Amino acid sequence: MDKAELTQFIKSEALRLGFDICGTAKAEAVPDDVIRLYNQWIAQEYHGTMQYLQRNCEKRFDPTLLVEGCKSIVVVALNYYPSHPVEGMASYAIGNDYHKIVKDKLYTLLNNINAVHPVKGRAFCDSAPVLERHWAVKAGIGWIGNNRQLIIPHKGSYFFLGELMIDAELEYDEPFTANHCGKCRKCIDNCPTGALSDDGFDARKCLSYLTIEYRGELPENIGKKMENRFYGCDCCLKACPHNRFSTPNNTPEFKPSDELLKMDVSKWQNLTREQYDTLFAKSAVERCGYEQLMRNISAIKEEE
């Protein structure tokens, strides 16, 4: 297969496997301005306790150091917009663990590529030092909005991103150069904590960070800002006009279980460890831990 045929095969196979979009980018060191902005964000300590974001920066800034022999990055996006939201939980977290679902699909893609053309590669989904949104822009998939999410034209931003880094050369997409945020600032205005501002994104104030990543005591009075949100926050997604294009996903593993859909305020407040284990056995929420989830639920309860 020549480069053009291989690229076409990979893209059509990615769509056949259920990904919504697939783009390709040459694997190379990221530009200095991207590195500068990232380092500035870290120096401002906006990443809070997420120390892993400070580590492995050489690999983060150059995928050829992360995956030996890597020449190309196949970037995919998978819709997770829910048909059945679960009150209080971020939409991305209500189904099975997306890391596994996206990576399994990418390894199937790698196997299928190998059936027609020998390649070596590794798959990632929010699981390694990879500047995912940068590569999605470079692969022509969308732009990074003021809410710091990747926005796909006419599709929105309820998408997981994944990358397959392979040792074959491909034909590459034109990077996405437009920014369709324009004068809009709805995500900034609708952020309940001021985590999004004209100064950038301060993760330490973000409800997603506080309820999922942060292990310590929650800030005093945060319950008022959380309202009913005890796991993550979709406010900046809901506010974005580009998400009017969102349509429910058709990945069966992202559908919340009947047990999760039957939960109500009282059931959450009285959740036992056993119920937690059953509800979240296959979910990314399992990584948050029972105690932390109950910490979040208590913070809301105190404000009632």
Interaction site with ligand SF4 (CB under 6 A) = 145-147, 181, 184-187, 191-193, 195-196, 206-208, 233, 235-236, 239-242
70 vs 187, which CB is nearer to ligand SF4? 187
- Active-site pick, 20, 32, 104, 126: 126
Taking CB atoms, the residue at the shortest distance from ligand SF4 is 145
Q: Provide the minimum distance between the beta carbon of 62 and ligand SF4 in the complex, in angstroms, as a whole number.
A: 28
174: phi then psi, degrees, rounded to nearest 5: -70, 135
Closest contact distance (angstroms) between CB of 189 and ligand SF4 is 8
109-112 long-range contacts (CB < 8 A, ≥24 apart) are: 109/10, 109/13, 109/14, 109/17, 109/74, 109/76, 109/164, 110/164, 110/166, 112/13, 112/17
Q: Which is nearer to ligand SF4, 137 or 195 (CB)?
A: 195
Nearer to ligand SF4, 102 or 187 (CB): 187
Q: Which is nearer to ligand SF4, 13 or 132 (CB)?
A: 132
* Least Å from the CB of residue 106 to ligand SF4: 26
Residue 189 a catalytic site member:
no
Cβ proximity to ligand SF4, 172 vs 209, nearer residue: 209
The Cα 6–Cα 169 span in angstroms is 9
Q: What's the min distance (Å) between Cβ of 247 and ligand SF4?
A: 17
The closest alpha carbon to 176, from 237, 130, 135, 131, belongs to: 135
Q: Measured from the CB atom, is 147 or 257 closer to ligand SF4?
A: 147
Nearest distance, CB of residue 157 and ligand SF4, angstroms: 7
Q: Which residues are catalytic?
A: 126
